[in-house]
Structure 1
């Protein structure tokens, strides 16, 4: 029986998908767990579902031999050691599209609020000031939005911004097809010099660490606005504070931070706290009922399809094989070291045990090869033991 463990209050739509697929052994945890408790919770789990606060490293993977796949019920996957998961034969799935609209709406809303100085005006009214002035307040219409990272979310932000009358420019390290009237900028510096509002939609990692630093902020137009709803490490917070304090930037909105609280009651430690022209939100860009329901369904479907058919389409760290109906009496899922002669070795072992190959799909990625083999014949415990024991095998399962 497949055992599923879900952490961090994943939407009930995931359970609905699992139940419909015939999976009943589902354990849920409302939050992330400390390392020791997490290690114990993973014991005997075949599928694991997490969000951004649960971190699965190489040590946890080594101590969870039954684990077959990990579902990140979010966009990001940097909370999982993807290389270690691949080397253990464990594909990792995420939801790259399901919260796109939610994040895009938040970004556009924050842009409009900051252009109108609403956070500051709101704070002053709460403290007894009726500051009814138009100074420093602008319409979104006619302003230039600069999008750094023109992927699923970035392009959606541009589409919504154009509907509000904004001019859209973008910069991406890869060539992207512009939507609507958006125009690509050949360099980040050119984008920063033209944009009234800059919004970031890039992945984390070394390549994007502090891409908005003091020099980048100095390249922005005086009085412009910065929004970051991507990864907390892409903005130099101290440099941003300095740009806000000097008046070079008129406002900022951040939904992500270099170090984020690990619990509801832990306060955010940031020099931005208390600034009237800054919107701080607790990493809730994709936290709408619609997006969480969609994410729960999307990731659960990928996990269920993997267990039932072996398909790894959409895996972020693993050779991708799309779905095909079973063509034989049984289906063997074999993960092996990507070495010369691997397929011949596998086929010979099957033939030695009277198995005839009816269909075979192979894909490789780096050091790993993954093959789905449909066979005619009886696949018993002896056959599986032989396949699993061979030095070339990383993992072998039967559908």
Structure 2
């Protein structure tokens, strides 16, 4: 009998077909009303859930599914899943570390270049017929100091590109130093901001990182500094960021994620020095294929009673 899988996040039809071909019965429930309908009809048979970190899965939702044994977070993040509640109920939780690290790292370098070289602003000026006015000098990325908040798979991929591709010194903050890496570890996050020309937040969400990048951190980054956030929107205090941009306490910012997304505050939209992408840093054909392949491997291991491939630590 096929394993019944509750799908509470959007994936493409092709990836749904891959799940079906792998032997799973997929129940789409991307919206609250549809989820209630699916649970009412199939709740007693659903054994696994596929979600993402920002959607998560709560203890109350777990209690509606008496046979639930596995929750898969499609990407690396799992902050919205009540992991403690899952463990209390004997429900395993997996995630997808490393599946999109290269894609996110590429996007991050793109945001760095866009911010420093003001590429979107130059494009807009040319389209307005302002060719001569747009021909201005902008800072290089080459040789600048990269500060990283976090040193997981994504941050490592960013550091490698920056250090070996752009000759950027790298300083980072993480819970413990990574002695195998040729970069400088700082035990205090603010010390990273003080040394960085470009500060990249590559951190998961949750209470421990909430508004870690605050007014003090932005001030430490300095008037010529650039902030990039490709982790979780909650890591950056948006009001403090807008104020820092307006008061020229930092030069610019590139945000792939923002607190409260998909809603974006008008104050953010009004600042041309804040470059925005809609949480797409990790989206590429290769990354999505790797993510779904890992989900399938975890589901198959669960169904076979074998060790899960990437359990949440």
* TM-score (ref. length: structure 1): 0.71
Q: Given that residues 56 and 78 in structure 2 are in contact (C-alpha distance below 8 angstroms), is that contact kept between their aligned partners in structure 1?
A: no
* TM-score (ref. length: structure 2): 0.90
1 CA distance for matches of 2:55 and 2:205? 17
Report deviation, 1:15.
4.7
Corresponding residue number in structure 2 for 1:368: none
Q: Given that residues 297 and 309 in structure 2 are in contact (C-alpha distance below 8 angstroms), is that contact kept between their aligned partners in structure 1?
A: no
Q: Given that residues 27 and 38 in structure 2 are in contact (C-alpha distance below 8 angstroms), is that contact kept between their aligned partners in structure 1?
A: no
Q: Given that residues 18 and 304 in structure 1 are in contact (C-alpha distance below 8 angstroms), is that contact kept between their aligned partners in structure 2?
A: no
Distance 1:144 1:47, change over 3 A: same
Structural mapping, 1:116-127, within 5 Å: 116-127=117-128
Report deviation, 1:132.
3.8
More strand as a share of residues: 1
Corresponding residue number in structure 1 for 2:153: 152
Matched, 1:277 2:273: yes
Corresponding residue number in structure 2 for 1:287: 283
Q: Given that residues 54 and 79 in structure 2 are in contact (C-alpha distance below 8 angstroms), is that contact kept between their aligned partners in structure 1?
A: no
Corresponding residue number in structure 2 for 1:40: 37
1 CA distance for matches of 2:25 and 2:173? 46
2 CA distance for matches of 1:248 and 1:25? 53
More helix as a share of residues: 2
Corresponding residue number in structure 1 for 2:84: 83
Structural mapping, 1:1-399, within 5 Å: 1=1, 2-10=3-11, 12-13=14-15, 15-16=17-18, 19-20=21-22, 23-28=23-28, 32-34=30-32, 36-42=33-39, 43=43, 44-52=45-53, 54-130=55-131, 131-135=133-137, 137-162=138-163, 163-177=165-179, 179=181, 181-261=182-262, 267-316=263-312
Q: CA RMSD in A?
A: 2.0
2 CA distance for matches of 1:313 and 1:53? 22
Can you give the 5+ residue segments of structure 1 that lack an aligned partner in the other structure? Answer: 262-266, 318-399
For the residue of structure 2 that corresponds to 1:279, the secondary structure is strand
1 CA distance for matches of 2:53 and 2:78? 8
2 CA distance for matches of 1:203 and 1:70? 18
For the residue of structure 2 that corresponds to 1:315, the secondary structure is coil
1 CA distance for matches of 2:112 and 2:207? 27
Q: Given that residues 61 and 85 in structure 1 are in contact (C-alpha distance below 8 angstroms), is that contact kept between their aligned partners in structure 2?
A: yes
Distance 1:37 1:196, change over 3 A: same
